[in-house]
């Protein structure tokens, strides 16, 4: 029965998110925060699959809303932590501690951490997951195996059609790559869910191609965010304070630009490989379903 793998997947996700939540709430642990947010992304994809299976019984957006608030309030904290980690690596590479920039990021982390703590002090995460556990069972128990297999396959095919639609877009267009990156991640999560319930839907070649796209775009996005933070810092403070070494900041801007270009070229290669493959269902967006 497909219901058991679905329910087990949800229980595993819920347990992981809650365990990481406890560590973040207590220590603001960067690794736990990262894993918690990844788990929430996977949960979002899972809820959307369940909604696709049982749209009347499981409104995904409504049921996910409290967890999405947790994701949102933790975003600035995670961002500040990531940028500090990158800054330490850059300082080591260039042999100069970027103290002004690092201190600015530390202040952002403190501010974001206060907002996060204020939220989690009143967030009953166990109750939220228990409610959704009951909602999940209510939605999936009446479904038949045949219906669920057909709907999950349709979900994958619809997502791949949406992804292939980017073939006709200018990928350097403002705001184009970020939603493409999010979609690729969700397709990978959906494929993972589908494979757990129906092993015949496993497609390692497709997953490998999507992983290549996802990883290249992830590094590209990190560069985008890093440049935005540096631009903001430079605009606010460059004329007001004496930077440790202005030359080092110039080198840093060039490094980010070069890494971003490298990541984009890697994405283009992975993207071209994906577009050249039309494979068998569920890979092929050309597949029709009745």
Phi-psi region of 28 (alpha: psi -120 to 50; beta: other; left: phi over 0): left
Whether the per-residue pLDDT at 75 is higher than 90: the answer is yes
Whether 290 maps to a domain, the answer reads: no
Which of the pair, 170 or 192, is modelled with greater confidence?
Answer: 192
Q: Give the torsion sign (CA, 185, 190, 195, 200).
A: negative
Q: Residues 285, 42, 6, CA angle at the centre, nearest 5°? A: 85
Alpha-carbon distance of 150 to 45, in angstroms, equals: 18
Whether 285 maps to a domain, the answer reads: no
- Run of H or E residues at 56: none
pLDDT band, very low/low/confident/very high, at 35 (cuts 50, 70, 90): very high
Q: Give the burial class of 23: count Cβ atoms within 10 A of its Cβ; 0-12 exposed, 13-18 middle, 19 or more buried.
A: middle
Q: Give the burial class of 164: count Cβ atoms within 10 A of its Cβ; 0-12 exposed, 13-18 middle, 19 or more buried.
A: middle
Mean pLDDT estimate for the chain:
90
Whether 284 maps to a domain, the answer reads: no
| 206-240 residue pLDDT tens | 999 999 999 999 999 999 999 999 888 888 876 65
Whether 24 maps to a domain, the answer reads: yes
The mean pLDDT value for 138-159 works out to 96
Whether 172 maps to a domain, the answer reads: yes
Alpha-carbon distance of 106 to 108, in angstroms, equals: 5
How much helix, strand and coil, in percent to the nearest 5, is found in the chain?
80, 0, 20
pLDDT number for residue 277: 81
The mean pLDDT value for 19-31 works out to 96
Residue recorded with tokens 């989690």:
120
CATH of residue 262's domain is 1.40.20.10
pLDDT band, very low/low/confident/very high, at 242 (cuts 50, 70, 90): low
Who contacts 228 (Cβ-Cβ below 8 Å, separation ≥6)?
A: none
The mean pLDDT value for 111-116 works out to 96
Domain span at 44: 3-275
Whether 281 maps to a domain, the answer reads: no
Q: What is the DSSP letter of 200?
A: G
The H-assigned helical ranges of 54-203 are 60-94, 99-120, 125-140, 145-164, 177-197
pLDDT band, very low/low/confident/very high, at 174 (cuts 50, 70, 90): low
Domain tally, the chain: 1
Q: Are 193 and 6 in contact (CB under 8 A)?
A: yes
The mean pLDDT value for 6-18 works out to 97
Whether the per-residue pLDDT at 49 is higher than 50: the answer is yes
Whether 288 maps to a domain, the answer reads: no
List Cα–Cα distances, 87 to 93, 99, 257, in angstroms.
10, 9, 15
Whether 289 maps to a domain, the answer reads: no
pLDDT band, very low/low/confident/very high, at 281 (cuts 50, 70, 90): very low
Q: Structure pTM?
A: 0.91
Among candidate residues 15, 64, 1, 46, the one with its CA nearest the CA of residue 193:
46
CA end-to-end span of the chain, whole Å? 23
């Amino acid at each position: 029965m497909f219901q058991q793998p679905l329910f087990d997947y949800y229980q595993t996700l819920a347990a992981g998110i809650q365990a990481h939540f406890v560590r973040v709430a207590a220590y603001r642990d960067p690794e736990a925060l990262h894993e918690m947010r990844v788990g929430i992304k996977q949960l979002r994809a899972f809820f959307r699959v369940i909604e696709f299976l049982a749209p009347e019984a499981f409104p995904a957006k409504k049921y996910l809303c409290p967890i999405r608030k947790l994701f949102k309030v933790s975003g600035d904290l995670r961002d500040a932590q990531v940028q500090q980690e990158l800054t330490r690596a850059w300082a080591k590479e260039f042999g100069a501690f970027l103290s002004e920039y690092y201190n600015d990021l530390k202040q952002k982390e403190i501010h974001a951490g206060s907002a996060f703590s204020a939220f989690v002090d009143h967030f009953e995460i166990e109750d939220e997951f228990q409610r959704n556990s009951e909602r999940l069972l209510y939605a999936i128990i009446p479904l038949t195996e045949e219906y669920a297999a057909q709907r999950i396959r349709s979900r994958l095919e619809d997502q791949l059609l949406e992804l292939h639609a980017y073939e006709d877009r200018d990928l350097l267009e403002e705001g184009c790559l970020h939603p493409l990156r999010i979609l690729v991640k969700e397709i990978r999560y959906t494929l993972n869910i589908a494979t757990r319930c129906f092993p015949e839907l496993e497609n390692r070649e497709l997953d490998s191609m999507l992983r290549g796209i996802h990883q290249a775009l992830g590094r590209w996005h990190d560069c985008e965010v890093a440049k935005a933070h540096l631009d903001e810092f430079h605009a606010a403070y460059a004329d007001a304070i004496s930077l440790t070494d202005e030359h080092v900041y110039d080198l840093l801007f060039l490094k980010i630009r070069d890494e971003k270009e490298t990541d984009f070229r890697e994405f283009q290669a992975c993207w071209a490989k994906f577009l050249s493959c039309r494979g068998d269902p569920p890979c092929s967006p050309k597949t029709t379903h009745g």
